[in-house]
């Protein structure tokens, strides 16, 4: 690869990152910050040496098929790579990288915040005074549910799942998890975490369930209608991973019918479109909906940009980029 490859970035990144990219490489930045159209994305892969996409770019096999001969690296600005057909890219000789590790704590914070927001009705309560509806205190008004002493079931015990477990333990929750494999014994002991080989059995016993696994072909609708029905009627579900992991239509129906008490969702199946029935449930205070902001901190976005740059530089210098994603990892 040439020393100053053309790096095409599909969305605005923090100023310091854009400045550094300009210093190091030839760049084409999207100063509009609008998601690229299909034609613009095709043009980007046709002309770029390095593409820096985000979650709003669907780089499927047909987009990869339009790649020009120069495109050798897709350095995703994001941890999840479900926006990219990694096997198709790799088959075409294109390396894919992501930004793991730097958004772990922020996403775990937001997951904990969602648990508290749903259980303690924070968004509902926060509207009362600005809306002029506070007539005074009453012993039986705005009662939420205590989280201390409850059971938290984490679906996917990777970095974010473990960071959530540390926080939740400090809040007095007992930690349970389902994962492809056990976490190392030292971590399991530190978290006093109980491993559930059967997701079904875990779901049936938890007070709070948090989805923290990646979206892969194997986790699409992992929380299917059948599995969601196993949850306790007073349980709540939170998702800061990917909308596609939960059958959102089934979840909506179960909350509407009272079969699941509530949910906190930061991600949706058809972002940015959100099912109007979920929006209605949010207005009724049964669900808390956030616009995919789990990792949205200034520090986190800069760290993600720095990771992108480290990966591009390693690749340009002929080294293996540190955050290479292989099809076997999915």
Beta strands in 151-310 (DSSP E): 151-155, 174-178, 194-195, 208-211, 236-239, 262-265, 287-289
For the CB of residue 135, give the shortest distance to ligand 8YV in the complex, in Å.
40
**256 is an active site residue:** no
Q: Does 77 bind ligand 8YV (CB under 6 A)?
A: yes
> Would you say 95 or 295 has its CB closer to ligand 8YV?
295
Pick from 212, 223, 227: nearest CA to 177: 212
Of 5, 80, 161, 262, which lies in the binding site for ligand 8YV, with binding defined by CB under 6 A? 80
Q: Which residue's CB atom is positioned nearest to ligand 8YV?
A: 78
Residues 6+ apart with CB under 8 A from 44: 8, 10, 28, 36, 51
Q: Which of 120, 221, 292, 324 is catalytic?
A: 292
Q: Does 295 bind ligand 8YV (CB under 6 A)?
A: yes
Of 79, 111, 179, 219, which lies in the binding site for ligand 8YV, with binding defined by CB under 6 A? 79
d(CA 195, CA 117) in angstroms, rounded, equals: 26
d(CA 48, CA 26) in angstroms, rounded, equals: 10
Site for ligand 8YV in 263-292 (CB under 6 A): none
d(CA 288, CA 9) in angstroms, rounded, equals: 32
For the CB of residue 54, give the shortest distance to ligand 8YV in the complex, in Å.
3
d(CA 255, CA 251) in angstroms, rounded, equals: 6
Of 13, 30, 78, 290, which lies in the binding site for ligand 8YV, with binding defined by CB under 6 A? 78
d(CA 287, CA 255) in angstroms, rounded, equals: 9
**178 is an active site residue:** no
Answer whether 241's CB lies under 8 Å from 156's CB: yes
Of 9, 17, 55, 155, which lies in the binding site for ligand 8YV, with binding defined by CB under 6 A? 55
**23 is an active site residue:** no
For the CB of residue 294, give the shortest distance to ligand 8YV in the complex, in Å.
5
Q: Which residues bind ligand 8YV (CB under 6 A)?
A: 54-55, 77-80, 103, 294-295
């Amino acid at each position: 690869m040439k020393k100053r490859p053309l790096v095409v970035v599909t969305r605005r990144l923090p100023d310091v990152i854009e400045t550094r990219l300009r210093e190091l490489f030839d760049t084409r930045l999207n100063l509009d910050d609008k998601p690229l159209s299909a034609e613009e994305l095709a043009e980007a892969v046709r002309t770029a040496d390095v593409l820096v996409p985000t979650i709003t770019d669907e780089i499927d096999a047909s987009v990869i098929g339009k790649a020009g001969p120069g495109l050798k690296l897709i350095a995703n600005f994001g941890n999840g790579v479900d926006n990219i057909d990694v096997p198709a890219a790799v088959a075409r000789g294109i390396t894919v990288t992501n930004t793991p590790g730097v958004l772990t704590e922020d996403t775990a914070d937001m997951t904990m915040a969602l648990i508290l927001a749903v259980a303690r009705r924070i968004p509902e309560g926060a509207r009362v005074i600005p809306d002029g509806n506070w007539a005074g205190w009453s012993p039986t008004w705005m009662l939420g549910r205590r989280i201390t002493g409850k059971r938290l079931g984490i679906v996917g015990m990777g970095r974010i799942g473990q960071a959530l477990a540390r926080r939740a333990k400090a809040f007095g929750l007992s930690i349970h998890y389902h994962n492809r494999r056990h976490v190392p014994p030292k971590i399991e002991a530190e978290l006093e975490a109980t491993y559930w080989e059967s997701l079904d059995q875990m779901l049936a016993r938890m007070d709070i369930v948090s989805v923290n696994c990646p979206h892969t072909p194997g986790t699409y609708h992992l929380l299917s209608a059948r599995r969601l029905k196993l949850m306790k009627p007073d349980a709540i579900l939170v998702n800061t991973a990917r909308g596609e992991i939960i059958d959102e239509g089934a979840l909506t129906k179960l909350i509407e019918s009272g079969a699941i008490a509530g949910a906190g969702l930061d991600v949706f199946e058809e972002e940015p479109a959100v099912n109007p029935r979920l929006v209605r449930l949010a207005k009724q205070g049964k669900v808390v909906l956030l616009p995919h902001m789990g990792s949205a901190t200034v520090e986190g976005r800069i760290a993600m940009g720095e990771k992108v740059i480290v990966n591009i530089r390693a690749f340009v210098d002929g080294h293996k980029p540190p955050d290479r994603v292989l099809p076997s990892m999915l």
